Structures are given as structure tokens and as C-alpha cells.
A and B are shown apart, each in its own frame.
Chain A
Amino acid sequence: KAGVTQTPRYLIKTRGQQVTLSCSPISGHRSVSWYQQTPGQGLQFLFEYFSETQRNKGNFPGRFSGRQFSNSRSEMNVSTLELGDSALYLCASSLGHNSPLHFGNGTRLTVT
């Protein structure tokens, strides 16, 4: 069974640009959640989608958005990039409530 796939693995963008990251969950998993990991703040929850609906949202500005498609694949978008957005962005999928999360290896975003 294929794991969670995130693309691209690495990305370099300039301040003010926007970026879209992609996540393909494990087959059959309908829940997809996104996290930002930085050395200073650790792993922080961004949002979670289930069956194309955003179910939970973390404490991030509106520049961070996401969506989920009917095949459960998910994308997250960050607009008007800031230097502080440089981070590892992790996607995780699961079967649903109380099921373990399965993480991808992340997309490393560098904003210059």
C-alpha cells in the first residue's frame, strides 16, 4: 500500500509570491490534515479536511488555505509569502476520528 505522497519535496519562492503544495493520501483515507513545522514553534496544526469539507482549522492567518478533492487528494495554498513561512509542511491522512495519522515526508519551503 502506497504511503502519503507530498509534492514537491523542495520549493524555493520569493517574498510576495504564492505557492501550492499537494498531498495524496493513502488509498481509502478520507481525512487529510496539514501541519507546519519550524525549529522555533515545532509542529503546528494548520487545518483538516474530511470528505471535501474543512473540519478544523488552526491558528494561522487567512493567507493559508486548503481544499480537498473528491478523490481525497488535498492541496494547500499560501499567498503573499513571508520569510517566516519558510518551514517544512507536512500532510497526514487517516481513516477518521481516533485513527492514527500517517504522515508524508513533507515539502520543504524556503522563502527568500
Chain B
Amino acid sequence: DAKTTQPNSMESNEEEPVHLPCNHSTISGTDYIHWYRQLPSQGPEYVIHGLTSNVNNRMASLAIAEDRKSSTLILHRATLRDAAVYYCILRDSNSGYALNFGKGTSLLVTP
């Protein structure tokens, strides 16, 4: 699997938007970009995924750069419950189902 690079930590104020960046300069054409988050004492939770176009769902938006070498997860209004570790990962749709997570970005939300 291609590697991703994320900042170790970020901080945001409650009710403000949060932009979590991810670099994946070695992404291949068949790699999907997935985002998961992990709250304390829980397993990771799916947030969103995309291939080329920007994606929106009830939890977040995913903005994918035109060259696909980077992406940004956007939380439109951070809440205290959004404090978690966010993982950006790539999965090759051809090679199988191996997902390797890095250490992610630890998001701190302050009131």
C-alpha cells in the first residue's frame, strides 16, 4: 500500500471548521482514499472515502487535490465529540484488502 503522511496533532475551537490534511504523493490510479477516526477506548470508525471527486456525507467532506497527491478531511463545525485520532489511508482496489494505518492525527477540540 502507498504511504500517507499526516500531522501528529491539530487543535481546533468548538464550532469552527477543521481541515485535516493528508499527503499521499505515491498514490496510484487505483488507490481509494479512506478516512477513519478513533475515539478513546473504541475501535476506528469509518468517516468517508473517495477516489477522484470531492465527497460529502453527514459526517464530513473530503476534498481531493486534482493530482490526487493530497487530500483534506473537512469537519464543518467541530464539536467536543469530534476529538479523536483521524487516520488517512489508501487502499488499492486491485491488490486486495490490506489497509495499513499510520499513526494518524490527534485532534483536540477546545470549548
Contact = CB atoms under 8 A, between A and B. Distances in A.
- The judgment on whether A and B are partners is yes
B98 A97 contact: no
A44 interface: yes
Contact of B46 (A31, A42, A102): A102
B43 A97 contact: no
Interface in A1-20: 4
B44 A48 contact: no
B44 A98 contact: no
Interface residues of B, number: 22
A43 B98 contact: no
B101 A50 contact: no
Given A42-B102, A42-B104, A43-B87, A100 B49 contact: yes
Contacts of A103: 43-45
A64 B98 CA distance: 16
* Residues of B contacting A: mostly: loop
A102 B99 CA distance: 13
Nearest to A46: B98
The contact size tier of chain A is 20 to 34
Max chain B Cβ within 10 angstroms of own Cβ: one of A44, A94, A103: A103
Contacts of B101: 35, 42-45
B100 interface: yes
Contact of B100 (A4, A44, A98, A105): A44
B104 A33 contact: no
A66 interface: no
B104 A48 contact: no
The 6 closest A-B pairs by CB, nearest first: A103-B43, A43-B101, A100-B46, A42-B103, A56-B98, A56-B96
B96 A90 contact: no
A44 B1 CA distance: 12
